[in-house]
Amino acid sequence: MSFPELRLKPREERRLRAGHLWIYSNEVDSAATPLTGFEPGALCRVVDARGKLMGVAYANPRTLLAARVLTSNAKAMIDADWFAGRIRSALALRERLYGKPYYRLVYGEADGLPGLVIDRYGEVCVVQMATAGMDRLKPEILEGLKQALAPAGILLRNDAGMRETEGLPAYVEEIGDVPDSVTIEEAGAHFQIPVKTGQKTGWFYDQRSNRDLLARYVPGKTVLDVFSYLGGWSLRALKAGATSATAIDSSASALEGAARNAELNGLKLETLQGKAIDLLRELRAAQRKFDVVIVDPPALIKRKKDLETGSAHYGALNKTAMELLSPDGILVSCSCSHHLDAESLQRILLRESRSAGRRLQILEQGGQGPDHPVHPAIPETRYLKAFYCRVA
């Protein structure tokens, strides 16, 4: 198959040679190969300024990130067999890591499939195609997934906000047998996940390794789970021996799901619906105290220009959480905002502990689980931070 050429400006190939997969519009020699000549998502062969082949990518003239490299093999055929090979490689890693089929099967660039995410829930896979290139390759992706895994059901959750940036419509589509909810097991706890209506792809597998750390801190303790969603942290805490747990979330349906999951595990969970910072302040006014507080918000800094306001929000949440902690309590503070690095979150925690008149010690640090591997050339693939802190 013959693909059109995408030529780079002189010296703009250096990041690709170092392993990066992204090409920005200002790196393209638009005189030689105008981006306007490409349809969104069209495959192309990338060449450097001297015409040397560098690989196969897909392009999108409508976005600043103009192309994403699929392979450095410029002769590769990007077909169902090619996708099946990449998915099998990703599957082999996950099967080494996990005894049960509940994990992120494909994590975009880190698995050599930029713009594609696949979460596995046993016999059901939830797929997100976030870019025009992956959307255009939908038939090949689905056939490759069937070759590699043959799931009973595939749910396309193509409703993420990034699709709008890529000029794509939002939709949800079922292929095969997809139930309204699936049940997974995590460290002996069971969770019912509403894959069709839940947040993102249904569950936050990326925090599993950090939730595993709870077991040493919560036996005999009271726990507050802020931004609870379906009760991942709070129910894991109760399973590990916490005496009580309270879950906070702004979503009534999420808290209903958390309550159902508590019942599924034979556990008792208090739920409070509302805006997190408001409820934390109400709990403080009521002089409630907890031994362990988990603050795991959604990304509060989605763009670099939001750094200042987002950092202030992280600060307010963590300061109020510290004020709710009993002496020698444990704060678990998380951020999934790529633009807030670990050092910046640590500075926020230090500042807010001083402001609250508390002494803070960092005991452990965590990141995303190994089913969300980091691409060493793409810092954006490392995004999750979790600090376990003692607050005296």
Positions marked active-site: 336
Between CA 333 and CA 325 the distance in angstroms is: 13
* Phi and psi torsions of 242, nearest 5°: -65, 145
Which helix (DSSP H) or strand (DSSP E) does residue 246 occupy?
strand 244-249
Give the residues across from 57 on adjacent strands.
Answer: 44, 69
Between CA 156 and CA 171 the distance in angstroms is: 8
Which helix (DSSP H) or strand (DSSP E) does residue 82 occupy?
helix 80-97
CA-based torsion, 68, 93, 363, 216: positive or negative: positive
Would you say 383 and 337 are in contact if contact means Cβ atoms under 8 Å apart?
yes
| Separation of CA 197 from chain center | 17
* Three-state SS at 74: coil
Between CA 49 and CA 72 the distance in angstroms is: 16
Would you say 153 and 174 are in contact if contact means Cβ atoms under 8 Å apart?
yes
Between CA 127 and CA 105 the distance in angstroms is: 10
Between CA 386 and CA 392 the distance in angstroms is: 19
Helix and strand element counts for the chain (H, E): 11, 19
Would you say 123 and 149 are in contact if contact means Cβ atoms under 8 Å apart?
no
Between the alpha carbon of residue 273 and those of residues 197, 279, 297, 334, 363, the distances in Å are 18, 8, 15, 20, 30
CA-based nearest residue to 108, from 340, 372, 370: 372
Between CA 377 and CA 379 the distance in angstroms is: 6
Between CA 229 and CA 224 the distance in angstroms is: 13
Between the alpha carbon of residue 292 and those of residues 222, 242, 245, the distances in Å are 6, 9, 9
Question: What is the rounded radius of gyration, in angstroms, for the C-alpha atoms of the chain?
Answer: 23
| Separation of CA 71 from chain center | 23
